[in-house]
Amino acid sequence: MDLPSDSPLRPVPPSPAAHPPLHVLEVVGNGIVGGMERCVERLVAGLGGAGGFRFTVLCPSEGDFAERIRAVGGEIGVVAMPEDPPWSSIQMVAAMIAAERVDLVHAHLPNAHLLAGLAARLAGVPAMTTIHGRQVILPDLEIHRLVGSHLSVVCRQSYYHALGLGVDRGRLSLEPNGVDVDMFQPGPRPADGLRAALGLAPETLIVGFVGRLSPEKAPEVFVRAAALLLQRLPDVHAVLIGEGPMKTQLRDAIAAQGLEARIHVQGGVDDVRPVLRDLDLLVSSSNSEAMPLALMEGMASGLPVVATRVGGVPEIVAHGSTGWLVAPRDYEDLAGRMHQMLTLHELRQRMGLAARARMERHHRLDRSLERLAERMRILARPATAATSTLTVAREPRMAGGTSGGRKTR
């Protein structure tokens, strides 16, 4: 597979066994370009072609996401994907599975899980779904029990939550997200970056929020914390990078406080790397997360972080070492930690270096893709993967060398 010239992703080496490429049908319940969709894009780019996989991606509509998948070598199909899929969609996907000789169906989001699970069951091929949230919600659990799909989760909280709901360990696995540490790395501030766009002096400190402007990400908490911060550090600027349904609401709230010259809603960007290199501190104020890519990309770029203690975030952020963790919706503590970081240059530098090192050691994308590739081979071709180390379900290993609460050797 040919990759875009600016992409540092390299395909995962193929399985040594002489088999044709494993054909995976990715069924994606959204057509926007968010964290989940970017995970699918990286999967197609990293494992397609020379990686021993062929990918067809089904999405509910054409758009930017479909074009990005095509750009990294994936094939695209479009099918209606409401929460209650019509028979025409189920029949179409089942027929596609048979006609295109699909080996495995892989779903993302509950509406896609239902469609993929029913069609795969009719076609007689295995199905899996990746749970991108911090918990297994009822629709996914019901579909799993109905069609016998495999649940792949991305953080330990999700894994043990699923076990607590009665999910069989043999149909559950942990494949954490990873970050491309070659693409995201520390670098010089761009000459035409945020400071130039906002007309700021080179020495101006900038704290940033990067993510979808939607309720689960709680950008209004970031705005409230930034407003409190500015009472003590009036020369600091805060930026929000992203799109979403709360964009207008946030701008109105900022204007109502007379802070539009200090808190900037910049919208989305095609390439977030220059933005990250322009920030002095990255903040995640989410109410709910599993293993957020934006946070991992910022840390790989050498940024210290302040983040809410939700979902898999404590697996990423080492409190007191790579940044600080605060309770969700506690804007006062969030503002206090932001103030501490922005007034202590050496602390920011030390934590930024530690953040980069943690991503390199524990959360590399190539290792994440290798683990997911092995899981998909096991599900699609169990006979040829009989000797795999993943065949028997294991308790998730924690960053730092522990498994199930015991030290590993």
Would you kindly state where each structural domain of the chain is located, as residue ranges? 22-178+364-407, 194-362
CATH topology of domain 194-362: Rossmann fold (3.40.50)
> 189: exposed, middle or buried (C-beta count within 10 Å: 0-12, 13-18, 19+)?
middle
Give the residue ranges of DSSP H helices in 72-218.
87-99, 110-123, 138-147, 156-164, 194-198
- Give the tens place of pLDDT for each residue, 189-230: 998 999 999 999 999 999 999 999 999 999 999 999 999 999
Q: Given this model, what pLDDT does residue 396 score?
A: 57
Question: What is the pLDDT at residue 121?
Answer: 97
Fold of 22-178+364-407: Rossmann fold (3.40.50)
What pLDDT, in 10s, does the model give residues 218-275? 999 999 999 999 999 999 999 999 999 999 999 999 999 999 999 999 999 989 999 9
Q: Which residues contact 178 (CB under 8 A, 6 or more apart)?
A: 296, 363, 364, 365, 366, 367, 368, 369
Phi, psi dihedrals of residue 263, rounded to the nearest 5°: -115, 120
Report the distance separating Cα 108 and Cα 30, nearest Å.
Answer: 8
**Confidence (pTM):** 0.86
pLDDT of the chain along its 409 residues, tens only?
333 434 444 455 555 445 789 999 999 998 777 788 999 999 999 999 777 999 999 999 999 999 999 999 999 999 999 999 999 999 999 999 999 999 999 999 999 999 999 999 999 999 999 999 999 999 999 999 999 999 999 999 999 999 999 999 999 999 999 999 999 999 999 989 999 999 999 999 999 999 999 999 999 999 999 999 999 999 999 999 999 999 999 999 999 999 999 999 999 998 999 999 999 999 999 999 999 999 999 999 999 999 999 999 999 999 999 999 999 999 999 999 999 999 999 999 999 999 999 999 999 999 999 999 999 999 998 876 545 555 434 455 545 444 444 443 3
Cα–chain center distance at 196: 29
Find, among 86, 90, 88, 53, the residue nearest to 72 by Cα: 53
Q: Quick check: do 22-178+364-407 and 194-362 share a fold?
A: yes
